[in-house]
Amino acid sequence: MNDFLKKMRDDHHEFDRGQLEDQYGKNPYELFQQWYDEAQHGEVLEANAFALATVNSEGLPSSRILYLKELDQEEFVFYTNYQSRKGEELAANSQASMLFFWPELQRQIRIEGKVTRVADSLSDAYFASRPRGSQIGAWASQQSQLLTSRQELEDRIAELEKQYTGEVPRPPHWGGYALSPESLEFWQGRASRLHDRIYFERKGSSWDVCRLNP
């Protein structure tokens, strides 16, 4: 075995930061909120960053990191470009998965469900709250499309700065999506890889909850 492989294999973490015995309750949103608050107020650098996995029309998966911006009416909201790769994939297949990993707390949360666009009024309100540079950026970036040079982007930004001297309107191709969960899994690392996994599955207006093998 080469040194690199050996080092990877020896990279062994013990999980001893917590446990999910029977105090997890019956409401996954309350547990999410509790863990999120602990991540935000603890040492987690970017508690609101998660990996969004989507699949394209041929069933091929892809993932990328995004920021969670709201937990609104039991839906998880994020913002992006509707014409981006993820936007196209979500248009082809609205099923997606979100994954939060908070290593400092030895926790992972997996959320799966259907994604829909949020109301324009919600996107407008969030867009209006963003710094001007990000607003101009949303117009300038044809996210996920080919860019011939950095200069091309800088030129587009300079043009837009001249065009929008006052308020910047929200581009029609930019806005929010909301994931409505069908299932959530809370994972707490434990010693000897005998982790706690609590799985919530939607059953109409309530949730079935069970424990999974680690």
* Identity of the residue, 101 or 199, whose beta carbon is nearer to ligand FMN in the bound complex: 101
- How many residues make contact with ligand FMN (CB under 6 A)? 16
Dihedrals φ, ψ of 102, to 5°?
A: -115, 85
Of 17, 25, 27, 85, the residue at the interface with ligand FMN (CB under 6 A) is 85
Q: Do the strands 196-203 and 75-81 form a parallel or antiparallel pair, or are they unpaired?
A: unpaired
* Identity of the residue, 49 or 153, whose beta carbon is nearer to ligand FMN in the bound complex: 49
Interaction pattern, residues 65-84, with ligand FMN; x per rule: CB under 6 A: xxx----------xxxx--x
Of 47, 86, 102, 179, the residue at the interface with ligand FMN (CB under 6 A) is 86
- Residue 62 CB, nearest distance to ligand FMN (Å)? 6
**Tokens read off for 170:** 């929200």
* Identity of the residue, 27 or 48, whose beta carbon is nearer to ligand FMN in the bound complex: 48
- Residue 143 CB, nearest distance to ligand FMN (Å)? 5
Does 133 contact ligand FMN by CB under 6 A? Answer: no
Interaction pattern, residues 36-55, with ligand FMN; x per rule: CB under 6 A: ----------x--x------
160 burial via Cβ count (<10 Å: 0-12, 13-18, 19+) = middle
Does 117 contact ligand FMN by CB under 6 A? Answer: no
Catalytic residues, by residue number, are: 193
* Identity of the residue, 67 or 163, whose beta carbon is nearer to ligand FMN in the bound complex: 67
- Residue 56 CB, nearest distance to ligand FMN (Å)? 10
Closest CA to 185 of 76, 24, 10: 24
The residue ranges that bind ligand FMN (CB under 6 A) are: 46, 49, 62, 64-67, 78-81, 84-86, 143-144
